[in-house]
């Protein structure tokens, strides 16, 4: 049966093209592929998610930052997230007590990666079925939103 | 025993394998795929044009759509269609020309004109090398030039050319994108008036327009126009290198016939190419020469921050007549009824397709300058000197084929000419005029393109023949068949046909550029934070509906997967309702749309971060559902809402709006 390899080889010889010279332009959009994929469930207290945020040190609540965060939240997030009820996405009141700060900021900054490569993110996508859009927020914006969410219940 | 059996098994299996392999080989070589006959040559052509899934083409090719008024963007070598860019035509697919933001781009002195015949394309260039900033296109019927922004692949500016009809020799641009030109294939009275058609010779004039292009913004402005004898100005090219200060226009109908041109405009053995020193003319205009004409034309431009277009009506312009332009304008006698005018990559040779003469005339720029210097004139027409043909000719391509139309060049000193009547493309040496190769195309090519083939730096790898007649090349689709383009490999001594692909509308010309020059710059979304649209809604908390008299403005947002507001009550019959729809998204390739029951405007589509406006005037009381037309998410089908329309004189339903309010009466 090993000789069936010959058949395969013949098909390959006939069908495979040489590496086309014309495909010199590289796909630059598939950058999420090098993010390590999560295979084991992680407890919400430990799950930092996937994305640019590796470590966030929390101090007592910075009220000014939380106020900035509230404005951004109202402008950018509230179209889909309410504090107290399900909407296009999950309710977010008190979320900072349930999820790690890194997880929350990574979800804001890397929604594509979080719903693809994080088990908890995948589960949320399966539940809500609308992929969270990337609103191109900056790290500082995400940090301010986190601060605001820490003040919510 | 076991070993023996294994041996036999293996023997049989390998024998079977060889037979199967041979069968597959034979099948593939004799035609097993899709009904076509596949042979070795075709397999090699398939390899050269196959772009695997997820990989990219080497070139972007922009092909004009002719009477579609659009530009089609293809990949080379695959021939895949990527996008249709609406330019002079309303587009129900994108809402271009229907949305309030884009309608002004179609304004002219004749009013709102939602169609034109889009013929020729030019990618912007620096030092006669493509730089890929903008793409220019001409409107042939009601003379216009459009500018397409290449990072966004959209039309951002149009300018009308006054005093002109049939703007065919356009929009050809100069080596550093300083000017685009226009020229009429119809001469008409200038300014236009209701003279007798029989008075053609006295009253009809040609107008050549020079449109100045701002080097930073790309904004166009009518620099000046040139009043010339009443011929039919057909095609144009600027020089490059040594000839960069000149522009050349072919013309036919030196006979000045005004009826049955088929016969009457083909009487003379020679017509004329008009050579214009545009640099000197621009300096004349700057020094105050020329006549100010009162006229009326529209200049329309899309503001990049608000993404709203506006129209500026202009009422004056400068026209240079033969009193002003002595020493700057000359006629070059050219073989019978020429068509295309093209300048080789060195800028020394100008080629004119003879059309009715079965020859390509190749002029020498050096000789032309010497003839001007020596005043080697055979006569003058309207004070424009006609240079002696024998003094300016470099060589001729004798018998390239029948009906030679257009020339394009590679980077090895060769020219390629399309022959409409004999239906082939001929390769020749530009210096000697010697015919080197010929390949049949299917059928009757008009223009051709080589990536960069009209610049100083062609990529001499592919040639695309833009054929006019399709007949049996594809599965038949009734009397009207899309045209057929053919991709030809020109990298070797012999041209090889690689691929047929259908082209929509009628591509009159095209431009192709290395994909890597445009791809990194392609816009992914519009920055909502920077939008200055007067009716933008940047956050759902700003959603509102306002009324002033019978004018109602709905400030609506869209994001996956809802529209806000999605319940609007108290609109009245006779109201003029403006839906200003903003996409709150900031994602690449995610679009939303808007359409409403009974809406007399096609859907509009809204890309991430932009605002688009449609007007709706409800005619009857009732409930009018609206929805997002662009399949944006799994819950796209839920992305919908309702408008309640009440009678014109009903006051019991106040204007109200909401989203997510699920209380019932």
Shortest Cα distance from A150 to chain B (angstroms)? 22
Chain B residue closest in CA terms to A111 = B587
Query: Over pLDDT 90: what percentage of chain A?
Result: 65
Q: How far is B43 from chain A (nearest CA, A)?
A: 9
Contact A23 B55 (CB under 8 A): yes
Give the minimum alpha-carbon distance from B539 to chain A in angstroms, rounded to a whole number: 5
Nearest CB neighbour to A78, from listed B515, B540, B561: B540
Beta strands, E only, B27-128: 59-64, 70-76, 81-86, 107-108, 111-112, 118-126
* CA–CA distance, B27 with B24 (Å, rounded to integer): 5
Are B110 and B124 within 8 A, CB to CB? no
Residues in B closer than 8 angstroms to A85, CB to CB, are none
User: How far does A132 lie from chain B, in Å, by closest CA?
Assistant: 8
- Chain A closest-CA separation from residue B187 CA (Å): 46
Q: Is the pLDDT of residue A14 over 90?
A: no
Start-to-end Cα distance in chain B: 89
Query: What number is the average pLDDT over the span A117-132?
Result: 93
Q: How far is CA B259 from the centre of its chain?
A: 31
The CATH superfamily holding the domain B59-521 is: YVTN repeat-like/Quinoprotein amine dehydrogenase (2.130.10.10)
Instruction: Tell me how crowded residue B433 is: count the other CB atoms within 10 A of its CB.
Output: 20
Whether residue A11 is predicted with pLDDT greater than 60 in this model: the reply is no
User: What's the complex ipTM?
Assistant: 0.70
B 29-68 residues with CB < 8 A to A: 46-48, 50-52, 54-58
Burial (CB count within 10 angstroms: exposed 0-12, middle 13-18, buried 19+), residue B87:
buried
Cβ neighbours of B459 in A, within 8 Å: none
pTM here is 0.89
Which of A35, A43, A52 is CA-nearest to residue A102?
A52
Cα-Cα-Cα-Cα torsion B56, B58, B63, B69, nearest 10 degrees, comes to 40
A81–chain B nearest CA distance, Å? 11
CATH class of B538-658: mainly beta
Contacts B17 to A, Cβ<8 Å: 3-4, 6-7, 10
The CA-based angle B130-B132-B136, given to 5 degrees, is 90
| CB < 8 Å to A71, chain B | none
Q: Which two tokens stand for residue A73?
A: 């939240």
Q: Dihedral (C-alpha) B624, B630, B635, B641: value to the nearest 10 degrees?
A: -20
Q: Which two tokens stand for residue B433?
A: 């005029």
**Per the CATH hierarchy, to which homologous superfamily does domain A63-150 belong?**
Cytochrome c-like domain (1.10.760.10)
Q: Name which of B384, B485, B584 is nearest B65 in CA terms.
A: B485
> Is-contact B495 B439, C-beta < 8 A?
yes
Query: CB of B204 within 8 A of CB of B189?
Result: yes
> Any chain A CB within 8 A of the CB of B435?
no
Structure tokens at B16: 């079977």
The answer to whether B312 contacts chain A (CB < 8 Å) is no
Pairing of strands B551-559, B576-583: parallel
Question: Three-state SS across B516-555?
Answer: HHHHHHCCCCCCHHHCCCCCCCCCHHHCEEEEECCEEEEE
Q: Are B624 and B597 in contact (CB under 8 A)?
A: yes
How do residues B297-339 score in pLDDT, each as one tens digit? 999 999 999 999 999 999 999 999 999 999 999 999 998 889 9
Local structure of residue B585 (DSSP, 8 states): -
Residue A30, pLDDT above cutoff 70? no
Instruction: Tell me how many helices (H) and strands (E) chain A has.
Output: 6, 0
Q: d(Cα B142, Cα B164) in Å, to the nearest integer?
A: 8
Q: How far apart are CA B515 and CA B576, in angstroms?
A: 45
Task: Flag whether residue B20 sits within 8 Å of chain A, measured between CB atoms.
Answer: yes
* pLDDT for residue A12: 42
Distance CA A43, CA A50 (A): 14
Say what the alpha-carbon torsion angle B169, B173, B179, B183 is, to the nearest 10 degrees: 0
User: Choosing among B58, B581, B637, B659, which should be mutated to test the A contact, i.e. which has the most A CBs within 10 A?
Assistant: B58
Q: How far is CA B319 from CA B163, B325, B460, B554, in A?
A: 10, 10, 40, 47
Burial code (b: 16+ CB inside 10 Å, e: under 16) for B598-633 equals ebebbbbbbbbbbbbbbbbebeeeeebebbbbbebb
Distances (CA, A) of B303 to B86, B217, B306, B530: 18, 11, 6, 12
**Interchain proximity A3–B13, CB inside 8 Å:** yes
Write phi, then psi, for A107 (nearest 5 degrees): -65, -40
The residues on A that touch B, with CB distances below 8 Å, are: 1-4, 6-7, 10-11, 14, 17-18, 20-25, 27-29, 74-76, 78-80, 87-88, 129-131, 133-136
- Take residue B303 and report the two structure tokens written for it: 């503001």
Residue A136 and residue B586 in contact, taking contact as beta carbons nearer than 8 Å: yes
CA–CA distance, B139 with B599 (Å, rounded to integer)? 30
Does residue A13 carry a pLDDT above 70?
no
Look up tokens 């006629």; give the residue.
B331
Chain B residue whose CA is closest to A24? B58
CA closest to B44 among chain A residues = A17
CA distances from B77 to A15, B56, B61, B74, B425 (A): 19, 10, 9, 9, 19
Q: What is the mean pLDDT of each run of 10 residues along chain B (665 residues)?
A: 47 47 45 58 90 97 98 98 98 97 98 98 98 98 98 97 97 98 97 97 97 98 98 97 98 94 87 97 97 97 98 97 96 92 98 87 97 98 97 95 96 97 97 97 97 98 97 94 96 97 96 98 96 97 96 97 96 97 95 95 94 97 97 89 96 93 70
Using the Cβ of B77 and the Cβ atoms of chain A, whether some distance falls under 8 Å is answered with yes
Instruction: Report the residue from B25, B52, B560 with minimal CB separation from A10.
Output: B25
- Residue from the list A10, A18, A23 with its beta carbon closest to the beta carbon of B56: A23
**Cα–Cα distance measured from residue A21 to residue B614, given in angstroms and rounded to the nearest whole number:** 46
How far is Cα B594 from Cα B307, in angstroms, rounded to an integer? 18
pLDDT, tens digit (0-9, with 9 covering 90-100), for B105-146: 999 999 999 999 999 999 999 999 999 999 999 999 999 999
Query: Would you state the pLDDT for residue B41?
Result: 79
User: What residues does each domain of chain A span?
Assistant: 63-150
For residue B632, which residues of chain A lie inside 8 Å, CB to CB?
none
Q: Which of B13, B51, B519 sits opposite A22 (nearest CB)?
A: B51
CA distances in angstroms from B238 to A114, B243, B317, B496, B557, listed in the order given: 54, 8, 23, 30, 48
Name which of A6, A23, A28 is nearest B21 (Cβ-Cβ): A6
The verdict on a CB contact (< 8 Å) between B77 and A22 is yes
Residue A16 — very low, low, confident or very high, per pLDDT cuts 50/70/90? very low
In chain B, residues under CATH classification 2.60.40.420 are 538-658
Nearest-by-CA chain A residue for B75: A22
Shortest CA gap A5–chain B (Å): 9
B322 closest CA partner among B230, B387, B251: B230
B561 contact residues in A (CB cutoff 8 A): 88, 130
Contacts A22 to B, Cβ<8 Å: 48, 51, 57-58, 77
Phi then psi for B476, rounded to 5 degrees? -65, 145
**Mean pLDDT for chain A?**
81
**Nearest residue of B to residue A17, measured between CA atoms:** B47
- A with B: how many residue pairs have Cβ under 8 Å apart? 111
Residues 569 through 598 of chain B touching chain A, CB cutoff 8 Å: 584-588, 590
Spatial distance between the Cα atoms of A11 and A49, rounded to a whole number of angstroms: 44
Gap between the Cα atoms of A118 and A53, Å rounded: 14
User: How far is residue B332 CA from its own chain's centroid?
Assistant: 29
pLDDT score at B36: 61
- Test B634 with A80 for CB contact under 8 angstroms: no
Per-residue HEC secondary structure of B357-385 comes to CCEEEEEEHHHHHHHHHCCCEEEEECCEE
Name beta bridge partners: B568: B643, B657
Using a CB-CB cut-off of 8 Å, the residues of chain B touching A4 are 13, 17
Residue B30 is predicted with a pLDDT of: 43
């Amino acid at each position: 049966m090993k000789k069936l390899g010959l058949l395969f080889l013949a098909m390959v010889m006939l069908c495979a093209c040489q590496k086309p010279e014309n495909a010199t332009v590289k796909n630059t959009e598939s950058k999420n592929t090098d993010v390590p994929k999560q295979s084991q469930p992680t407890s919400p207290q430990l799950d930092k998610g996937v994305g640019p945020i590796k470590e966030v040190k929390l101090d007592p609540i910075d009220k000014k930052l939380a106020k900035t965060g509230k404005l951004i939240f109202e402008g950018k997030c509230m179209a889909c997230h309410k504090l107290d009820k399900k909407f296009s996405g999950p309710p977010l009141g008190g979320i900072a007590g349930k999820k790690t700060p890194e997880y929350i900021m990574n979800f804001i900054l890397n929604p594509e990666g979080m719903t693809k490569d994080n088990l908890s993110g995948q589960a949320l996508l399966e539940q809500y079925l609308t992929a969270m859009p990337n609103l191109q927020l900056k790290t500082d914006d995400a940090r301010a939103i986190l601060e605001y969410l820490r003040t919510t219940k | 025993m076991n070993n023996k059996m294994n041996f036999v098994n293996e023997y049989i299996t390998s024998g079977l394998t060889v037979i199967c392999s041979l069968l597959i080989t034979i099948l593939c070589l004799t035609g097993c795929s899709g009904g076509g006959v596949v042979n070795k040559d075709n397999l090699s052509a398939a390899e050269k044009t196959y772009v695997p899934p997820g990989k990219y083409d080497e070139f972007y090719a922009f092909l004009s759509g002719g009477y579609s008024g659009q530009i089609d963007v293809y990949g080379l070598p695959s021939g895949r269609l990527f996008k249709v860019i609406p330019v002079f035509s309303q587009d129900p697919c994108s809402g271009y020309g229907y949305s309030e933001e884009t309608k002004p781009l179609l304004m002219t002195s004749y009013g709102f004109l939602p169609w034109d015949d889009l013929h020729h394309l030019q990618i912007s260039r620096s030092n006669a090398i493509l730089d890929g900033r903008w793409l220019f296109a001409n409107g042939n019927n009601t003379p216009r030039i459009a500018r397409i922004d290449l990072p966004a692949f959209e039309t951002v500016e149009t300018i009308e050319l006054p005093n002109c009809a049939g703007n065919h020799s356009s929009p050809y641009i100069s080596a550093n994108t300083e000017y685009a030109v226009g020229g009429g294939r119809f001469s008409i009275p200038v300014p236009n008036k209701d003279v007798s058609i029989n008075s053609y010779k006295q009253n009809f004039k040609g107008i050549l327009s020079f449109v100045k292009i701002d080097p930073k913004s790309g904004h166009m402005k009518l620099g000046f126009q040139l009043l010339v004898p009443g011929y039919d100005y057909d095609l144009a090219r600027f020089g490059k290198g040594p000839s960069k200060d000149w522009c050349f226009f072919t013309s036919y109908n030196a006979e000045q016939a005004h009826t049955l041109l088929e016969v009457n405009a083909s009487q003379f053995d020679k017509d004329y190419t008009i050579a214009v020193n545009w640099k000197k003319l621009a300096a004349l205009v700057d020094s105050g020469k020329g006549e100010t004409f009162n006229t009326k034309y529209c200049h329309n431009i899309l503001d990049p921050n608000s993404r709203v277009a506006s129209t500026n009506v202009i009422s004056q312009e400068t026209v240079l007549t033969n009193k002003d332009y002595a020493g700057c304008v000359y006629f070059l006698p050219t073989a019978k009824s020429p068509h295309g005018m093209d300048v080789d990559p060195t800028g020394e040779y100008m080629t004119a397709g003879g059309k009715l003469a079965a020859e390509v005339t190749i002029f020498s720029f050096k000789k032309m300058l010497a003839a001007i210097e020596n005043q080697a004139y055979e006569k003058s027409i309207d004070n424009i000197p006609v240079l002696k043909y024998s003094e300016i000719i470099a060589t001729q391509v004798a018998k390239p084929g029948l009906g030679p139309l257009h020339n394009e060049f590679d980077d090895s000193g060769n020219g390629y000419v399309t022959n409409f009547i004999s239906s082939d493309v001929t390769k020749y040496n530009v210096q000697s005029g010697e015919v080197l190769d010929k390949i049949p195309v299917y059928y009757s090519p008009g223009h051709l393109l080589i990536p960069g083939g009209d610049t100083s730096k062609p990529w001499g790898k592919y040639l695309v023949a833009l054929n006019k007649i399709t007949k049996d090349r594809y599965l038949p689709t009734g009397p009207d068949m899309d045209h057929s383009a053919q991709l030809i490999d020109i990298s070797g001594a012999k041209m090889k046909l690689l691929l047929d692909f259908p082209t929509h509308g009628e591509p009159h010309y095209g431009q192709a550029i290395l994909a890597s020059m445009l791809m990194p710059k392609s816009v992914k979304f519009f920055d909502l934070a920077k939008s200055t649209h007067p009716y933008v809604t940047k956050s759902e908390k700003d959603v509102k509906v306002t009324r002033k008299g019978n004018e109602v403005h709905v400030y609506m947002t869209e994001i996956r997967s809802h529209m806000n507001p999605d319940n609007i009550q108290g609109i009245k019959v006779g109201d003029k309702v403006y839906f200003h729809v903003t996409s709150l998204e900031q994602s690449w390739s995610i679009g939303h749309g808007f359409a409403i029951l009974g809406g007399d405007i096609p859907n509009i589509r809204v890309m991430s971060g932009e605002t688009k406006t449609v007007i709706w005037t409800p005619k009857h009381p009732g409930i009018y559902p609206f929805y997002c037309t662009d399949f944006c998410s799994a819950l796209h089908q839920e992305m919908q809402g309702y408008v309640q329309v009440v009678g014109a004189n009903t006051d019991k339903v106040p204007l109200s709006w909401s989203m997510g309010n699920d209380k019932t009466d």
